[in-house]
Every structure is written in structure tokens, then in C-alpha cells.
Amino acid sequence: MHIHDYEKLWLAVSLLLILSLIGTVTYGAVGPGVAMVADSEPTVDATALDEDERFAEPRVERVGENEYAAYVVAYQFAFQPDPLVVPANSTVTFYVTSRDVIHGFEVVGTNANTMVIPGEVAKLTVETDGPAEYGIVCNEYCGAGHHGMSGTLEVVSQSEYEGQNGGDGE
């Protein structure tokens, strides 16, 4: 088959581009350690979250030395708990599930972003910096009141967090 030399050159450059793109994404996973939301969490019964040990009472909980777990339930048309308060300079793992339809969970202006699917638990771990306040929005259409579905994430100083939680973090 006859291919012009210029087009052969472009073919080679294109393949190089494709490999570089895959390489960049791999670097992101290996270097800065960006991990994907995946299937690590077992499924839950979306219709019986009231009986689920983690989601019956959505909350933030201290689970280790400077490590916190945030159990979040999304439903038409709000997040629970709201606001979500976590300490600064800590490792926070969000466990997010839905008790009705598909929702989204996006901490606005950050990389914390996931689908929320009934029956599945989205798990994402982030490291917080200094105190800050972020909006949380549902970014998947979930029904007629979708546009009202938002919340707040408050990253507060360690001392303020201890104060709010009465130092019972253990």
C-alpha cells in the first residue's frame, strides 16, 4: 500500500502522542499516586441504609492517627451530613452512597469528584491542607429538584475540630 512520506511521518508522531498520553496518565498514578474510584468496597442494600452500620448515621469519624472516615449519604435532594466538617492537614476517606437514584459528589474546585450509585459505595481518600471551605454539588441529574442539591465541606483547624467534637475522636 502506498503512503506518502509526510503521512508516514504524521502517523509516527501520532503514535508517539498516543503513547505519551497513556504515559502521562500512568505517571499520574505512579508519581503523585492518583488512584481511581473503583470496586474496593462491597455493595450495600440501598433500600436498607438505615440498618447499615456505616450509613445509618452519616458522620465523620476518627479512624486512626490523623485519619478520618466520612460516611456520606446522597438522596433526592441533599447530602447528609451537611456541613461535612473535617480537620486540616489530615487524611480523609469519603465513603459515599445513595439511597435512591444515581447522584454525583463533587467538591467544587478540587479533584474530589465521584459518581454515587445506589447499591455501590464510592471510596475516595484525600489529604487536606490548611483550613478552607468548599461547596459540594451533585453533578449528575437526579430529578426535578437536582439544582438545589448541594452541601458544604469545612476543613477546620485541628484544635477547632477537637473543640467541636469534644475531643472524643477515639
Residues 4-33 that bind other proteins (CB under 8 A): 4, 6-7, 9-11, 13-15, 17-18, 20-22, 24-25, 28-29, 32-33
CB of 120 to other proteins, least distance (A): 4
CA 54/CA 158 separation, integer angstroms: 24
Tell how strand 67-75 and strand 91-98 pair up.
parallel
Tell how strand 132-137 and strand 78-80 pair up.
unpaired
Should residue 137 be labelled a site residue for other proteins when binding is judged by CB under 8 A?
A: yes
- In the range 66-125, which residues lie near other proteins by CB under 8 A? 93, 100-102, 104, 106-125
Q: Which residue, 101 or 160, has its beta carbon nearer to other proteins?
A: 101
Q: Do 55 and 120 contact (CB within 8 A), yes or no?
A: no
| Identity of residue 129 | D
CB of 56 to other proteins, least distance (A): 16
